[in-house]
Structure 1
Amino acid sequence: MTSISTSTSAFYDRAKNDIGGLRSRAEALQAQLGSGDKLARSSDDPVAASRLRMLARTDKLSNIDESNAGRASADLTLADSALKTFADYITNAKVLANNAANGTLTDAQRASIGYEIEQIFGNMVNLANSRDSNGHALFGGESAGDAYQLNTVTGKPEYIGTLSAGDLALGDGQSISRGLTGRQILGTEPNDILTKLQKLAADLQTGVGDRQKMANDGISMLEGSLDQITTSQTLVGSRLNWIDLTTERRTNLGELRADEQTRIGATDLPSTIAELQQTMTVLEASQASFTKLSSLTLFSMLN
């Protein structure tokens, strides 16, 4: 009797384990189809789980780099637009200086031209105090306030920003300056463009001496100033191109990571569905076989 009891118990235990294993596998496959994830927990495949965690961390860092690139691109685009306006102002001032250099004009007429140049100077100061994408000084480096102010005593423009614009990381050890400072664009006082333009306006209005010569000197000064602005435009353009290149590379790497994440962690629908169908078929057959075998007795066999 002990032998028969033990064999019967073993039969039921094996059947229960076999059917339980099939049910667990079927449930796991159904969960994969429902969630789209191949791994329910790290223990399912520790190596694959570790790789997926690393890819996820890389994605988070890439998102930060993308945000930095977006900010740098926005600020540099604003700087590029402002530089075009600077160039327009200087070009207009040069046209006025050319008019003032005409030998047929009177000093009163040159004074009127000087007043127009003074208005351009005021517009340029306002433009130099433009704001970036965060509302800070566009050309003030890392300063939150204005980049320039007029001295309360002399009335001359003074740069009050920081020495550098600050760098933003673009990933893979690459970084870029988010803009240019006023001194990088306009020069260092007292030989900066703003000061020289202010002096030209004053000379034409109240200067003592040959105002026609002052106008001619102003033309040369403005030509050099225009070249200075053009150089800054070239620098900004090259930085924008560099951001585009790093963005393209980051996008390509992101696509590669996404493919790897899909390959490692995503459910392969066709194969999973096929395996689930096979598992369910085997489970149903096992349950049917167990039911039939468990109902048999020695007497039924003898009959």
Structure 2
Amino acid sequence: MQIPTNAFYDRATRSMRGLTVQADSLQTQISTGKKLSTPSQNTAAYQRLATLKQASADSDAYGTNLGLAGSLLSSADTTLGAMRDQLQRASELTLQARNGTQNDSSRKAIADELDQIVESLAALGNTRDPRGQPLFGGVDGGAAVTKVAGGYSFASTTLTAIPIGDAQSVQATEPAARVFAAGGTDILSALTDFSSALKAGGDIDAAATTALDDIAASSEQVDTIQASLGARAARVDLEQSQQKSAETDREVIRSSLEDTDIATAITQLQKTMTILSATQASFSKLSSLTLFNYIK
């Protein structure tokens, strides 16, 4: 029987070439840590990786927004807490002022402290957020609280909600008009009016009663807003936790698709090199046999 010499050489060459390519691929996977270097290696895996990459990019953007929302919510809560303390002090001073033991001089001192509270509340209302924007101001960046003839004006524009997820957003604070004008009561003007009544002297009982009602309404409004912001902060925390969990899941999938299992790759490389060496040795031995010099 005639041995097909050309076929023998072709099969041997193809086998060694394939083993060499496989060895080179495994060496690349080991050195780079990646088992995919071109889309042609696994089109479906590359498409899946592209989807995961886009999802991670979106998550990063939402993560930044979540951080901003959390910061704004925290700042708003702290500021409202300081306002609540000022209102509590104003209530104490009002009760003190209506005490029958007070005289015009002591009431004048109380009025002066109430004026300071009004200034403090206005300053708190104009607090700037971490970006330098008014925390309770409008979208135009203008002051949240402005003193005008006859009282105060407050920013009333609804603040822009911050996107924190697909079809999800959160409003991280409230406009000054909602904070300071509870039920039509402008607490800054109300306290200013009561201070003026104290300075004027005479019977202040009716003025004190009105002031206490206004302070109570304003305090309740601040409490309501704080509770709402607290619920939003809890939602932001939950969304951050869910996004971290989703990112962890994406990383597991990405790694399974893209990363090299070094131990497995080394084992495969060793087997491939052993087979390649044996094939090369066999080919060299057979091709040198004298018989091949005569077979046509």
Gaps of 5+ in 2: none
Q: Which residue in the other structure is 1:178 paired with?
A: 172
Q: Which residue in the other structure is 1:32 paired with?
A: 29
Q: Which residue in the other structure is 1:48 paired with?
A: 45
* TM-score of the aligned structures, taking structure 2 as reference length: 0.92
Most deviating of 269-278 and 231-240: 269-278
Instruction: Quote how far apart the aligned CAs of 1:226 are.
Output: 1.2
Instruction: Quote how far apart the aligned CAs of 1:84 are.
Output: 0.6
Counterpart residue type for residue 168 of structure 2:
Q
- 8 Å CA contact 1:200, 1:214 repeated in 2: yes
Counterpart residue type for residue 297 of structure 1:
T
The percent of aligned pairs where both chains have the same amino acid is: 33
Q: Structure 1 residues 234 and 38 mapped into 2: Cα distance closer, same or farther (>3 Å)? A: same
* TM-score of the aligned structures, taking structure 1 as reference length: 0.90
Counterparts of 1:1-303 in structure 2, within 5 Å, are 7-151=4-148, 153-154=149-150, 156-159=151-154, 161=155, 163-187=157-181, 191-206=185-200, 210-298=203-291
Separation of aligned partners in 1, 2:156 and 2:34: 50
Q: Secondary structure at the match of 1:40?
A: coil
Counterpart residue type for residue 280 of structure 2:
Q
Q: Secondary structure at the match of 1:149?
A: strand
Most deviating of 212-221 and 237-246: 212-221
Q: Structure 1 residues 181 and 236 mapped into 2: Cα distance closer, same or farther (>3 Å)? A: same
Counterpart residue type for residue 129 of structure 1:
N
Deviation string, structure 1 residues 24-49 (Cα, Å, up to 9, x no partner): 11111111112221211111111111
Q: Secondary structure at the match of 1:170?
A: strand
| Higher RCO (C-alpha under 8 Å, 6+ residues apart) | 2
Separation of aligned partners in 1, 2:131 and 2:234: 22
Instruction: Quote how far apart the aligned CAs of 1:20 are.
Output: 1.4
Most deviating of 195-204 and 228-237: 195-204
Q: Structure 1 residues 87 and 299 mapped into 2: Cα distance closer, same or farther (>3 Å)? A: closer
Q: Secondary structure at the match of 2:185?
A: coil
Instruction: Quote how far apart the aligned CAs of 1:162 are.
Output: 5.0
Q: Secondary structure at the match of 2:127?
A: coil
Most deviating of 74-83 and 282-291: 282-291
Gaps of 5+ in 1: none
Separation of aligned partners in 2, 1:211 and 1:188: 23
Separation of aligned partners in 2, 1:240 and 1:224: 24
- 8 Å CA contact 2:34, 2:259 repeated in 1: yes
Q: Secondary structure at the match of 1:150?
A: strand
Instruction: Quote how far apart the aligned CAs of 1:122 are.
Output: 0.4
Q: Structure 1 residues 270 and 40 mapped into 2: Cα distance closer, same or farther (>3 Å)? A: same
Deviation string, structure 1 residues 214-273 (Cα, Å, up to 9, x no partner): 123212221221111111110111110010111111111111111111122221223222
